[in-house]
Amino acid sequence: MHRRPNATVMTNGATKVRADCETSDHRPMERHMRRRSGPRPEAVLVALAIIVAGTLGSGAGQSHAQDNTGTYRLDESWPQYPLGSQFEMGSGIAVDARGIVYAISRDRDHWAGHPLSMTRYRGTGSIWMFDRSGTYLGKFAEDQEFIGPHSLYIDGEGFVWVVDRDGHQVTKLTPDGTPVLTLGEYGTYGNDESHFNGPTGVAFLPGGDFVVADGYWNSRLVWFDADGEFLKQVGEYGNGPGQLGVVHAVALDARGRLLVANVCGGALHPYVTVRGQIAEERLQPIPGCTSRFDVFNQDGSYEGPWSVVGGTLTLSIAAYGNRIFAGTTGSERGRQDLVIVNAETDTVVDIIRSADVYVHQMALDPTSGDIYVASVYPEHGGESRGPEGPSFVRWTR
C-alpha cells in the first residue's frame, strides 16, 4: 500500500487514524485512535438544531416544503467553478451550519477502463467548498487521498464524513480537516468486521452510534458505536423481504426509521467490479428484481418497503427535520425527479421534476431551505462532458 498523509491503524475490528504511520496491505498495526484534544464543536450542534427546527417545523405551514408541486427553480448561476477545474463526476454534497457547501467529485477519467482497477485512481483534494452565492472558497482536507468517493456528510457536531466506495473506507474529519476516525482498510475489500466492499453511505443514530451502508458489493448495513467499534450487521443479497441488492443510500428520518435506497444489483455490478471482488452470479440481475426504498428500525429489524416513492431506479434518500428527500426515476428520459415527503404523514408535498441527470446525493441548507444536488454521468442526460459539470446544482425558491 502507498503511504498516506494519515495512515490507517487497525484496532479490534475498526480502523482508526494515527498521523505519521505507515501500513502495508495485510499488516495492521495495533494502536489506539489518537483523540483530538480541545472542545467539541457543540455550538455548531446547537445552532443547527435551532435552524432546522425553525426551517422544517413539524406543524403545517412551518415547513419549507409546503404542499405545492414544482415550487423550486434551478439557480443557473450556481456555482462558479474555478478555472481549469473538472467537475464531471460529482458524487457527494453537504452543507454546514454556516451555509458553506462541501462538494466531492471523482476525477474525470475515473471510469476510463473496464473492468476497473480502482487503485489506479488515487486522487487528492477531492472536496471543494462554495458559499451560497456560488463563490469558490477552496479545497477542504486537501491532503486526503480518496479512490472513488461516493457520498459526503456533515453530522450534528460539525464533523465531515467521507464515504470512499472504491477505497473501501469511511473517514470522519474535524471541521478543520483533521481525520479522527477511519473505518476499513485503504484499497482493500472484504466482508468482515473491519473491512467494507463498496460502502455507499452513513446514517447517524441518537446517542452516537451510526450505520454504514456497505452497499455496492456486500449488500449489508453495519452498526458501529461512537468510537467506531463494530456492533452488528444486517442484510444479505437478494430481492426478498429484508434482503438487499445495492444499498445505494441510507438515512434516518424524524420518526426514527432507517430508510434504504435498495437498487437491483446486477445492472450496476459488471462495469465497476474487478474480477474476484464479488461472486460471479451477482453480475447478472436477480430475476424479477424491483428497485425500491425499504424501512428498517434502529435495531436492524426489517419493517417492509417504503412505497410512498417508487420508480425503476430508487437511487438516493436523505432526511432533514420532518422532510424526506428521495431521488428516483424521472418524468423525463435520462433525468431523475427529487420527491419531497412529509415524514410524519408519509405524503408527497413537493416534486422537483428533472432535478438532475442522476440525483446521486442531495443536501439541504437549513437556513435558506435551498436544495443542493450532486450528479454523476452528466452525459447520460444529454449534456456534453466539460470542465463545469453539471455535477453540482442548486434548487431554490
Does 78 reside within a domain?
Answer: yes
Domain that holds residue 112: 8-24+62-396
Number of independent structural domains in the chain: 1
Per-residue cell: 77: 448561476
Query: Looking at beta carbons, which pairs linking 41-47 to residues 24 or more positions away fall under 8 Å?
Result: 41/157, 41/158, 41/159, 41/175, 42/157, 44/96, 44/97, 44/156, 44/157, 44/158, 44/175, 45/156, 45/157, 45/158, 47/97
User: What is the pLDDT, as a whole number, of residue 125?
Assistant: 66
Does 220 reside within a domain?
Answer: yes
Does 365 reside within a domain?
Answer: yes
User: What is the pLDDT, as a whole number, of residue 251?
Assistant: 99
The helix or strand, by DSSP H or E, that contains position 233, with its residue range, turns out to be: strand 230-234
CATH number for the domain that contains residue 367: 2.120.10.30
Query: How do residues 37-57 score in pLDDT, each as one tens digit?
Result: 333 433 333 333 333 333 333
Low-confidence ranges of the chain (pLDDT < 50): 1-13, 15, 17-68, 109-119, 380-388
Does 39 reside within a domain?
Answer: no
Which of 72, 85, 68 minimizes the C-alpha distance to 370? 72
Measure Cα distances from 70 to 190, 191, 324, 349, 354 in Å.
43, 43, 16, 10, 10
Does 43 reside within a domain?
Answer: no
CA Rg value for the chain: 19
168 contacts 198 by C-beta, under 8 angstroms: yes
Residues paired with residue 319 on neighbouring β-strands, in sequence order? 324
Query: How do residues 240-299 score in pLDDT, each as one tens digit?
Result: 999 999 999 999 999 999 999 999 877 666 666 677 888 888 888 888 888 999 999 999
Which of 27, 29, 25 minimizes the C-alpha distance to 17? 29
Per-residue cell: 230: 463494530
Does 264 reside within a domain?
Answer: yes
Does 148 reside within a domain?
Answer: yes
Summary mean pLDDT of the chain: 78
Does 47 reside within a domain?
Answer: no
